[in-house]
Amino acid sequence: MKVSYHGHSVVKIESQGKTILIDPFITGNGLTDLKADEQKPDVIIVTHGHGDHLGDTIELAKRNDSLVIANFELATYLGWQGVNAHGMSIGGGYDFDFGRVKLTPAFHGTGLETENNEIIYLGMPAGVLITLEGKTIYHAGDTGLFSDMKLIGDRHPIDLAFLPIGDNFTMGPDDAAYAAKLLGAKKVVPIHFNTFPPIKQDPHKFTSMLENGTGQVLEAGEIIEL
Ligand code: NI
Ligand code: MN
C-alpha cells in the first residue's frame, strides 16, 4: 500500500483500490499539496471536531459518497449534515471492507466553532489504529503524551506512526520522542507542525531524538510504501 503525508495532519492511504483520507484539512492548509476538488476518498477518518482536522470532510464526503468514520457524537453530527457516517467510541474496533479501524484515547479538545460564536462539543478526541494488508498504522490525532501509549504499542505492533510534534496544542518534540519509545513503532513520521506560528518546529531535530532509522520526515506529497 501507499501511505502519503500532505501537510499538517493529513494522511492518505491507498490500498487495494481504496483511498482513505485521515483528517482532510485541505482548504486553508498552507502546507498541503492536495487540491480539495481533486480528492476522491472512499473513506474519511476524522480524529476530532477541530477545523484543522474536520477540514473539507463534509464537502468531500457529499461529493464522493465517502464513508466517514469518527467518534459517535461527531459522526452523528456529520450524519445530520447529510454525510454517510459510522460512529465509534474509544477502545472499540470495527472490521470495514478495507481493513480494521480502532479508536484510541487522545488528550485534547473537540469543540467545533460555529458561525454564531458557539462551540459545540463533539464527543471525545481520538487517535486511530488502522490495520490493513497485515500492517498497522497509528495516527495519534491531536494529543498530549500519556503513558497508555505503551499499552497501545503492547497490544498492537505498529508499523508506522504519525505523531504530532507542534507543541502548544499537542505534544512537543521531546514528549513525542518519548511517545515513540512507548509505542515501539517501527517508523515514526512527525505531523502537526509549522502550519501556524505557535506550532513552529524543526522536524529533523525531532527525528534525531529517535532510535536510529526510526524517524522519517515526509514532505507534503511524499509516499511511504508499506
Ligand atoms: Ni485539535
Ligand atoms: Mn489540530
Separation of alpha carbons 95 and 160, rounded Å: 20
Say how many Å lie between the CA of residue 50 and the centre of ligand 1.
5
DSSP 3-state of 186: coil
Condensed to tens digits (0 to 9), the pLDDT of residues 45-55 reads 999 999 999 99
All three cell numbers of 168: 502548544
Give the DSSP letter of residue 192: S
Say how many Å lie between the CA of residue 52 and the centre of ligand 1.
7
Condensed to tens digits (0 to 9), the pLDDT of residues 133-145 reads 999 999 999 999 9
Condensed to tens digits (0 to 9), the pLDDT of residues 188-219 reads 999 999 999 999 999 999 999 999 889 999 99
What pTM was estimated for this model as a whole?
0.98
Say how many Å lie between the CA of residue 54 and the centre of ligand 2.
9
List of domains in the chain: 2-225 (3.60.15.10)
pLDDT of residue 191: 98
- Cα 184 to Cα 11, 73, 149, 150, 165: the distances in Å are 20, 31, 9, 8, 17
pLDDT of residue 84: 98
Say how many Å lie between the CA of residue 15 and the centre of ligand 2.
26
pLDDT of 39 strictly over 90: yes
For residues 141 and 126, the answer to whether their CB atoms sit within 8 Å is: yes
Smallest-distance ligand from the CA of 122: 1
